[in-house]
Amino acid sequence: MHTLTIDLGKRSYPIIIGSDLLSNADTFNPFVSGKVMVVTNDSIAPLYLDKTLAALHQHDTASVVLPDGEAYKQLNTLDAIFESLLKQRFDRGCTLVALGGGVIGDMTGFAAATYQRGVNFIQVPTTLLAQVDSSVGGKTGVNHTLGKNMIGAFHQPVAVVADMSTLSTLSDRELKAGLAEVIKHGFILDIKFFEWLENNIAALLARDEKATAYAVQRSCEIKAEIVAADEHERGVRALLNLGHTFGHAIESAMGYGNWLHGEAISAGMVMALDLSTRLGRITDGEQKRAVALLKAAGLPVQPPTSIDADTFLNYMYRDKKVIGGQLRLILLDKIGQAFVTDDVNIDQLMNTLTADYSSA
């Protein structure tokens, strides 16, 4: 077991990474207050809900099971959580437990941020993507048909419990999607981690436990450092959005759930690498090397050809990083060093949006 801390003063919390954590009451007890509502979905419930409730047996517990899918990450679905909480008279001292991937984590976190103006919650991420990214840092929310993650709040959990054993039931496609966010951490901040990933991508795809544990730990360390420095994304935290302005446009335009978040982020990062190259910030060689890693991870490296430049721009200008109508993008200066720019040359951007990625 390995524990990291997100250092946010009084709101600091641990990320506990280990195996078979779910079945252990000691994992949860220090972080639980009041009644406990476990929120999960109908794919995860048959796998892990009983185990989690058993570990929480010393507490007054209930559960709510939502339909599975990114398409349900929306305001209407939240009502099922609020109805359960209200019907069972959960008060302000309660604890919500998000048992699932990023969709459950984001929705449960938002319910916790808003129920009776804010209650505690514990993140129990069960996908690689959620363990390396979405469960950490307190971004919560839901999608709108007009834009991804457009309604939400910053609300930090009281603990993150990343039980690596849950990854054994994850599909290969979801595992690869999680690798996109792992690789992102190497691209933006850590050339050594990028090189480690180049050497260990086959082991990660083969679900080697030691390699996976290191990838989760290193990703969480990188994210913990960034979140501690800039909780509300006024500066450096924006770097974690490499590829996201393009990627969120892909997810929204293709219909939520058709492209997995990690897949869209992979193609989005390829577009950010293309623009970085066009602007002379990285070399052709660096671009090819970075794309090769995404390819080796089995991730898409071409955006869907069905999205035209106007549609991309429409979604991109609704991005949360847009301030005063000014697009802000995350680009690379080199592998392991990202930067934020609002000085985007529109002609170069159009070239990126209309480029032929078929030989990538």
Interface residues toward ligand NAD, by CB under 6 A:
41, 43-44, 47, 68, 70, 73, 100-104, 106, 126-127, 129-130, 133-134, 137, 139, 149, 166, 169-170, 174, 177, 261-262
Q: Is 286 in the site for ligand GLY (CB under 6 A)?
A: no
**Residue 247 or 300 with smaller CB distance to ligand GLY:** 247
Check if the beta carbon of residue 142 is closer than 8 Å to that of residue 75. Answer: yes
Residue from 56, 106, 113, 139 binding ligand GLY (CB under 6 A): 139
For residue 126, the minimal CB distance to ligand GLY (Å) is 18
For residue 199, the minimal CB distance to ligand GLY (Å) is 25
Binding mask 200-239 for ligand GLY (x = CB under 6 A): -------------------------------------x--
**Residue 170 or 239 with smaller CB distance to ligand GLY:** 239
β-pair type (329-334, 139-144): unpaired
**Residue 166 site contact among ligand NAD, ligand GLY, none (CB < 5 to 8 Å, cut-off depends on kind):** ligand NAD
User: Element (H or E) spanning 37, and its range?
Assistant: strand 36-41
Check if the beta carbon of residue 9 is closer than 8 Å to that of residue 230. Answer: no
Instruction: Please report, as a single letter, which amino acid is at residue 319.
Output: D
Residues 6+ apart with CB under 8 A from 114: 153
Which residue in the list 35, 73, 184, 223 is annotated as catalytic?
A: 223
Q: Is 177 in the site for ligand GLY (CB under 6 A)?
A: no
Taking alpha carbons only, the member of 215, 203, 245 closest to residue 344 is: 245
C-beta atoms surrounding 58 within 10 Å? 11
Taking alpha carbons only, the member of 316, 274, 344 closest to residue 146 is: 316
Catalytic, 248? Answer yes
64: helix, strand or coil = strand
Active site (catalytic) residues = 117, 139, 181, 223, 233, 237, 241, 244, 248, 261
